[in-house]
A and B are shown apart, each in its own frame.
Chain A
Amino acid sequence: MSLLSVRGLDKRFGGVHAVRDLSFDVHPQTIKALIGPNGAGKSTVFNLLTGFERPDAGSATFEGIDLTGRPPHETVRMGLARTFQESRLFDTMTVEENVLVGMHLRLSASFGLAAIRSPRVRREEREAREEAAHVMRLVGIDRYRDTRASDLPHGVRRLVELARALATRPRLLMLDEPAAGLDGRETADLGEVLLRVRDAGTAILVVEHDMGLVMGISDEVVVVDQGRKIAEGPPLIIQKDPAVLEAYLGEVSDGA
């Protein structure tokens, strides 16, 4: 049974048909890559699935429950977590605090209980910091724990976003161009982290332009062009698909 099942998803912005009748599945404990040229509608798909946009038609079900039309924070509660193409870190907060915000739904302190700092709140905070330390180690950013997010180098910022998303303990992790701006070494490290995350039981849906990373870690690839799915399958087959080559390289009929 699939974890995420997208059926006939459709979205227009004025005259732009961003997503057209898109269907695909993500299975548990797999990494699925969503690739396509710039402007193919990949980020829109993310926004539709996580409640930042409403689809005009179609459905998306997660563990059998309809996702569409729910506000973003509810999709997090259901077990989806996402990162953004453009960093949305909490710049005034430290790396540790950013990760702690990711644990928001699993903590319980209300304004009132936090104000009196009840024993339960103290214990919860202590345990949360221990877990945050674990997540930061997993992603490899533990030495930046007390650094303000605004002072971080770009590559680390991407990893903090990943850590923050992981801190929600998602069953499906959705990453929007996680390797953008990373150098070769950092990208390789990221790939290893993602494989570890998958092996620990979390499915991943990743939008990415770095084909080395995509082909290296994905179990399956979906290719979209102008909002439409043009191919789907294992990386080795996708690399040879004529429709994919055409979308990426232009005309291939003239002897490519």
Chain B
Amino acid sequence: MTSVQVVAAVAVLAVPFLGADRYLLKVLTFVGVNTLIVLGLALLFGYAGQVSLGHAAFFGIGAYTSAYLSSALGLPWLVAVAAAVGLTACAGWAVAVPGLRLKGHYLAMATLGFNEIMSVAFVEARRFTGGNDGLGGVPFPSIGPYELDTPASLYLLVWGVALVALVGAANIVKSRPGRAMRALHCTEPGASACGIDVSSVKVRAFTLSAALAGLAGSLYAHTVGFISPTTFGLDLSILLVAAVVLGGRESLAGPVVAMAALTLLQYLGALVPGLSRQAAEAVQDWVPDIVGLTVVGVLIARSRGFRLRGRRGVPERGGQG
């Protein structure tokens, strides 16, 4: 890691000790949860070039699995997390194997369909999900007698996991599997002529990406204690794709920063002191439009050869310079 990255990581983890209030910590914890999901999508979409408009559904599968196992069945937190990640990975694999035969718009439509199906399932499978009323009473994360029940400790848990995932993703993209993803994004025949099993790499990337969303879902459920279907709708999936588009191809930092900005935009009213209620509501109402217009603007600017940043989100230092 470079010194800049270390400083950034320390700064993120220092936030709870700087006297941030409970509400701000909660919002920033959501930013951490979304960071985890967008990391997975950045690998899948930004590196391997395979779009998914279904990541909110994987987020939901992780959240409901973890919530149900720990609140209804009373399983320990770590078991619930592991089961949530495992089940979401399986779901991701099950979507990827048939879905990745499709390309571009067709893959987008298939994953969008998956998100809609899961949205209905979260409402209709009342026995497990509580339907539209949601699922409450999800216990805080705990290991034995130790329970993380303060906003600060939950913040540190979520961001700790997110930072570990960020380092892991950065390691992946600079070695063999990362090169394979980038290669098949550029040209699939070229990649297979180098011995890359293109469909296998795609399925692995998709499964890993879904598993990260599932992990985020599990952390989210135990952080807020209550989940309901609207959180896991298409809106979030679109926001995630927008963040990766804004953040740039072959970048991790870009999508993470973009997703943080898009997440904070929704809480603008509460975060900016002195902003009138009407102004805050207006911004909230217009979030989808702001996002859409920004994406269009960025795409037009890029197509004219205008680049905001250098090529890499993760500078490679150390190793063989």
A148 to B185, CA, bound (A): 15
Q: Is B186 interfacial (CB 8 A cutoff)?
A: yes
- Whether B193 contacts A114 by the Cβ 8 Å rule is no
- Chain A residue nearest to B43 (CB atoms) is A111
Partner of A81, one of B186, B193, B311: B193
- Chain B residue nearest to A126 (CB atoms) is B320
Q: Interface size for chain B: under 10, 10 to 19, 20 to 34, or 35 or more residues?
A: 20 to 34
The interface residues of chain B lying within 8 Å CB-to-CB of A52 are 189
Q: Is B319 interfacial (CB 8 A cutoff)?
A: yes
Given that A93-B186, A105-B195, A164-B194 are known contacts, is A126 also in contact with B172, CB under 8 Å in the complex? no
A81 to B107, CA, bound (A): 30
Count of inter-chain pairs, beta carbons less than 8 A: 110
CB distance from A205 to the nearest CB of B (A): 14
A117 to B249, CA, bound (A): 23
Main secondary structure of the interface of B (DSSP, over half): helix
The interface residues of chain B lying within 8 Å CB-to-CB of A105 are 194-195
- Whether A104 contacts B193 by the Cβ 8 Å rule is no
The interface residues of chain B lying within 8 Å CB-to-CB of A167 are 194
A105 to B179, CA, bound (A): 12
The interface residues of chain B lying within 8 Å CB-to-CB of A104 are 176, 179-180, 194-196
The proximity string for A residues 108-125 relative to B, scoring 1 for CB distances below 8 Å and 0 otherwise, is 111100111100011011
A100 to B185, CA, bound (A): 16
Q: Is B187 interfacial (CB 8 A cutoff)?
A: yes
Q: Interface size for chain A: under 10, 10 to 19, 20 to 34, or 35 or more residues?
A: 35 or more
The interface residues of chain A lying within 8 Å CB-to-CB of B195 are 73, 76-77, 102, 104-105, 168
Partner of B319, one of A51, A89, A125: A125
The proximity string for B residues 177-198 relative to A, scoring 1 for CB distances below 8 Å and 0 otherwise, is 1111011011101111111111
Partner of B249, one of A81, A84, A92, A121: A92
- Whether A111 contacts B193 by the Cβ 8 Å rule is no
- Whether A148 contacts B320 by the Cβ 8 Å rule is no
Given that A115-B168, A115-B169 are known contacts, is A93 also in contact with B193, CB under 8 Å in the complex? no
Q: Is A27 interfacial (CB 8 A cutoff)?
A: no
- Pick the most buried of A77, A88, A89: most chain B CB atoms within 10 A of its CB: A88
Q: Is B278 interfacial (CB 8 A cutoff)?
A: no
- Whether A101 contacts B189 by the Cβ 8 Å rule is no
- Pick the most buried of B172, B175, B182, B250: most chain A CB atoms within 10 A of its CB: B175
The interface residues of chain B lying within 8 Å CB-to-CB of A110 are 177
Given that A76-B194, A88-B189, A165-B193 are known contacts, is A100 also in contact with B179, CB under 8 Å in the complex? yes
The interface residues of chain A lying within 8 Å CB-to-CB of B319 are 122, 125-126
- Whether A101 contacts B196 by the Cβ 8 Å rule is yes
Q: Is A91 interfacial (CB 8 A cutoff)?
A: yes
A88 to B311, CA, bound (A): 20
- Whether B190 contacts A90 by the Cβ 8 Å rule is yes
Residue positions of B touching A, CB distance < 8 A: 168-169, 171-172, 175-180, 182-183, 185-187, 189-198, 204-205, 208, 249-250, 311, 319-320
Known: A108-B176, A111-B204. 9 other contacts (CB 8 A): A72-B192, A73-B197, A88-B189, A111-B172, A114-B171, A114-B176, A117-B171, A165-B193, A168-B194
